[in-house]
Amino acid sequence: MALQSTPNHTQTVAGWAAHDSSGKIVPFIFKRRENGVNDVTIKVMYCGICHTDLHHVKNDWGITMYPVVPGHEITGVITKVGSNVKNFKIGNRVGVGCLAASCLECEFCKNSQENYCDQIQFTYNGIFWDGSITYGGYSNMLVADHRYVVRVPDNLRMDAAAPLLCAGITVFSPMKDCQLLDSPGKKVGIVDLGGLGHVAVKMAKAFGHHVTVISTSPSKEIEAKQRLGADWFIVSTDDEQMQRGKRTLDVILDTVSAHHSLGPILELLKVNGTLAVVGAPSRPMELPSFPLIFGKRAVRGSMTGSMEETQEMMDVCGKLNITCDIELIQPDQINEALDRLARNDVRYRFVIDIAGNSKL
């Protein structure tokens, strides 16, 4: 069993945890390690609520180690710096996303793709190098290895930037892989308009593409077009609209959190089109062969992004002034927010005001 009682875990932290698959979040006091030579200590200011947090607190994927302190969309300010850390100073505005540790030696770690290291450990529900279970950003303080920390550009708000650390990088990375960063004018589809989906729409528009949102919620059409700048909106449950969309898109990003078939989505791709899947429903998605082979289409996956890419994404967002549309909540509203997230009732990301800044 991993040890929360590791001897150098001396710092007392106040956080919020779920203790079983009811997913109910309650206040939780725990210990974090002392700030090591490679570490920075961060006063957590804001933490986004990702659907992955919901999957974890409910044990949807069967991998949760309780108590779980979720949160991997963290922004805050550095309060301590280890002696080996040269690139951060006390007072820097920083962010921490999904990654807490990797082997640092494999081909992926050596080539700035540590998100694909097979020993990758996550910011929560992971096992750190010292054997302790990692606890995430629903807490007032974090100790992070500096290699998994990025800077938040000065012009971005710390609350609205927090979800970039997961939602933002998770959609940026496959967009980059599909050459959407530097070749404008493509037809891009974003399946569903949730936390990931809404940032994807903003990025794809900012990169100069024609953007189609494919959603189960007709009520999101006006906002998708007027606020987020989408060019076209398809209600995925409307067969006629789906028929009209056939063979229109070069690249589609699927960010759906619930079980669904990829067949109708593949039909929307042109011949040779690519479907990049980032959503992670607990049950396998259906992948019928006909829409795949008749259009020589490809399906690929993508898991968050590397640290280098995460910094690149933050800098691009700084340059283009991209942040998330958020609903700021206090920690005592986390359970209500998780319930609303489960009901698809959020526009488009809950962010927890961990440090109580909005009360000042």
Give the interface with ligand NAP as residue ranges (CB under 6 A): 50-52, 55, 166-167, 170, 192-197, 215-217, 220, 255-258, 260, 278-281, 302-304, 341, 344
**Nearest distance from residue 262's CB to ligand NAP, in Å?**
12
**Nearest distance from residue 228's CB to ligand NAP, in Å?**
11
Question: Which x/- pattern, by CB under 5 A, does the window 1-40 give for Zn ion?
Answer: ----------------------------------------
User: In this structure, which amino acid lies at residue 195?
Assistant: G
Contact 236, 264 (CB under 8 A): yes
Determine the residue with CB nearest ligand NAP: 194
| Nearest residue (CB) to ligand NAP, 85 versus 314 | 314
Distance CA 205, CA 225 (A): 11
- 195's contact among ligand NAP, Zn ion, none, with CB below 5 to 8 A by partner kind, is ligand NAP
Q: Which of 17, 50, 199, 201 binds Zn ion (CB under 5 A)?
A: 50
| Nearest residue (CB) to Zn ion, 48 versus 67 | 48
| Nearest residue (CB) to ligand NAP, 253 versus 354 | 253
**Nearest distance from residue 288's CB to Zn ion, in Å?**
28
57 interacts with Zn ion by CB under 5 A: no
**Nearest distance from residue 166's CB to Zn ion, in Å?**
3
Contact 190, 207 (CB under 8 A): no
Distance CA 90, CA 356 (A): 20
Within 8 A by CB and 6+ apart from 105, the residues are none
Helix, strand, coil proportions of the chain in percent (round to 5)? 30, 30, 45
| Nearest residue (CB) to ligand NAP, 9 versus 349 | 349
Contact 152, 158 (CB under 8 A): yes
**Nearest distance from residue 199's CB to ligand NAP, in Å?**
9
171 interacts with Zn ion by CB under 5 A: no
Best CA proximity match to 43, nearest among 74, 17, 66: 74
Within 8 A by CB and 6+ apart from 74, the residues are 42, 44, 46, 47, 95, 96, 97, 123, 136, 137, 142, 162, 165
3-class secondary structure, 250: strand
Best CA proximity match to 196, nearest among 276, 260, 139, 286: 276
- 193's contact among Zn ion, ligand NAP, none, with CB below 5 to 8 A by partner kind, is ligand NAP
**Nearest distance from residue 52's CB to Zn ion, in Å?**
4
**Nearest distance from residue 164's CB to Zn ion, in Å?**
11
52 interacts with Zn ion by CB under 5 A: yes
Within 8 A by CB and 6+ apart from 154, the residues are 93, 318
Q: Which residues bind Zn ion (CB under 5 A)?
A: 50, 52, 166
